[in-house]
Amino acid sequence: MERFLVMKSLRFFHVNRVMSTASKPETITIPLKWQKKMAKDLDERQKHDKLKKSYQGNTKVCIVSCKDSKLNHYAGQSYGKFDKVSLSSRGWDHRRTNGDHFVINSQGPNPSILRDEENDFSQLQISELLTENLKKMGCIKPTLVQKLATKTVIRGENTLIAAETGSGKTLSFLVPVIQNILDYKMSKNTVDDSSETPLNSPIGLVITPGRELCEQISNVCQSLIENLPIKAQCFTGGRLKRDMMNAEFEEVDILFATIGAISKLTTNRIVRLDRLKHLVLDEADTLLDDSFSEKVTYFLRKCPLQMGRPTDVGAKGVQMVMVSATIPRSAEEILSEVVPYGSFTKVTTQHLHRLLPHVPQKFIRISHLDKPARLLELVKKDVSRNLPVIVFSNRSDRCDWVSMFLNENGVSCVNLNGNMGTTFPSWSFRRFSYW
């Protein structure tokens, strides 16, 4: 009985205690001012940790790997506005850095190659014969710049094609120009079969700054126009005086020429521009620099260029296409004398003026004494894997020395520089291409 009374009294005490606790107001153990300060400090700490993490970047994805791993740069890594960015090459002026190196790693596939299965040249208003010739050349699907530029050039618009090196810019203007010439000849033959074609009067003209590039593009064109009713010719400098003395007059639809050669040929009336409908400036950034700009603008004044869009009233004239790996800053100022810069439709890619993500680049700090041995080591390494190698020199005499050095050490190579004659460089270039 006593035990029952004790248990009852304890239960009553517990209930009363709970009720009294619930009825009491909440007690503030930390002042509100301190709570706000603690929340502010926590927020600042989180921001600092986030910023510190961004400074480090994603250490699993290295963009620039250096000999000293402390100087590596990673994906997502950021830098303060006034921070001094640590660079491996900062101290390369000192001889003690001999042997130092860093590598810009590849970060993905070639961005110019489209991976759309439905992508095909036949969808770009290209004839079947021209598409078949492209397939014979191994060109099954167009690249990004080819897809963008082909439609614009076929519409007859003045076009500025600017894309990264290796994106397929040559076909981006050759294919639509050939297609337009093919359509023009077919329609003219339908209208008037009895008309005679003027000799040495091209419909399309492609101008380049150098003869090697001119011959290279001409060879590509010859493969494209196989079994097509189109004729192409190539004129370059060097032996031009002899060719002019014994000039041949024949039908030509597409003419490839250096700026110097075409200027002389048109001045002497060996080549006429009466039928010209398509004018292409390849390597436009070089043609518009101080070395060629005066000669180019003088020649362009001879051509009745298209001054607006094809749909504009009174915009008829020669379609002009400029092709380059960069957009020259002086283009607008130079071209304003002969054609409105606003009449050009710009065809560019996202990776213009950027490093190509699929091409790794290695930079090595080498002393002048160690350079020949290191060069020989690198070249032999690639030759052993049957990889073609190009060694660039900043002077012709140095180019000659490198060629002799490699040949003497068992590496078969050809020499190509501007101080050589006309026949030998072409032979050297063809020999390298066939390897």
CA distance 276 to 30: 87
CA distance 365 to 65: 15
3-class DSSP state of 225: coil
Residue 13 above 50 pLDDT? no
Higher pLDDT, 390 or 19: 390
Residue 174 near residue 214 (C-beta atoms within 8 A): no
CA distance 146 to 174: 10
Closest CA relative to residue 284, chosen from 344, 224, 235, 203: 344
Residue 1 above 50 pLDDT? no
Residue 257 above 90 pLDDT? yes
CA distance 225 to 233: 12
Given CATH 3.40.30.10, say whether it is the number of domain 121-348: no
Confidence category of residue 392, pLDDT binned at 50, 70, 90: very high
Which residues are 104's β-sheet partners?
Answer: 64, 361
In the chain, where the domains are located: 121-348, 366-434
Residue 230 near residue 178 (C-beta atoms within 8 A): yes
Q: 216-237 pLDDT, tens per residue?
A: 999 999 999 999 999 999 988 7
CA distance 104 to 213: 29
Residue 183 near residue 234 (C-beta atoms within 8 A): no
Residue 223 near residue 139 (C-beta atoms within 8 A): no
Q: In percent, how much of the chain has pLDDT > 70?
A: 83
Q: What is the mean pLDDT of the segment spanning 48-75?
A: 83
Q: 150-165 pLDDT, tens per residue?
A: 999 999 999 999 998 8
| DSSP tag of 234 | E
Residue 422 above 60 pLDDT? no
Among 131-135, 243-247, 305-309, the range scoring the smallest mean pLDDT is: 243-247
pLDDT number for residue 8: 45
pLDDT number for residue 307: 85
Confidence category of residue 5, pLDDT binned at 50, 70, 90: very low
Confidence category of residue 243, pLDDT binned at 50, 70, 90: low
> DSSP states of 89-142 as a string?
GGGTTSGGGTT-EEEE---SS-TTS---TT--GGGGT--HHHHHHHHHTT--S-
CA distance 100 to 370: 13
Cα torsion angle, 74, 75, 76, 79, sign: positive
Residue 305 near residue 318 (C-beta atoms within 8 A): yes
| Residue whose tokens read 């290796």 | 166
Q: What is the CA radius of gyration of the chain?
A: 34
CA distance 368 to 380: 19
What are the distances in angstroms from CA 252 to CA 198, 227, 273? 9, 15, 11
Nearest 5°: phi and psi at 357?
A: -70, -20
Confidence category of residue 86, pLDDT binned at 50, 70, 90: confident
Q: In percent, how much of the chain has pLDDT > 90?
A: 43
pTM: 0.78
Q: Which residues are CB-neighbours of 79 under 8 A, at least 6 positions away?
A: 55, 85
Higher pLDDT, 43 or 175: 175
Is residue 33 classed exposed, middle or buried when 0-12, 13-18 and 19+ CB atoms within 10 A define those classes?
exposed
Mean of all residue pLDDT scores within the chain: 84
Q: 260-284 pLDDT, tens per residue?
A: 999 999 988 899 999 999 999 999 9
How many residues in the chain? 435
pLDDT number for residue 173: 96
What are the distances in angstroms from CA 43 to CA 19, 30, 48, 171? 39, 18, 9, 56
Closest CA relative to residue 274, chosen from 302, 245, 248, 298: 302
Q: Which long-range contacts does 179-184 make (Cβ < 8 Å, 24+ apart)? A: 179/125, 179/126, 179/127, 179/130, 179/154, 180/153, 180/154, 180/156, 180/204, 180/277, 180/278, 181/230, 181/253, 181/254, 181/277, 181/278, 182/127, 182/130, 182/228, 182/229, 182/230, 184/277
CA distance 300 to 267: 13
Is residue 155 classed exposed, middle or buried when 0-12, 13-18 and 19+ CB atoms within 10 A define those classes?
middle
Q: 286-342 pLDDT, tens per residue?
A: 999 888 889 999 999 989 898 887 776 555 789 999 999 988 778 888 888 889 888
pLDDT number for residue 3: 46
Which residues are 235's β-sheet partners?
Answer: 257
Residue 139 above 50 pLDDT? yes
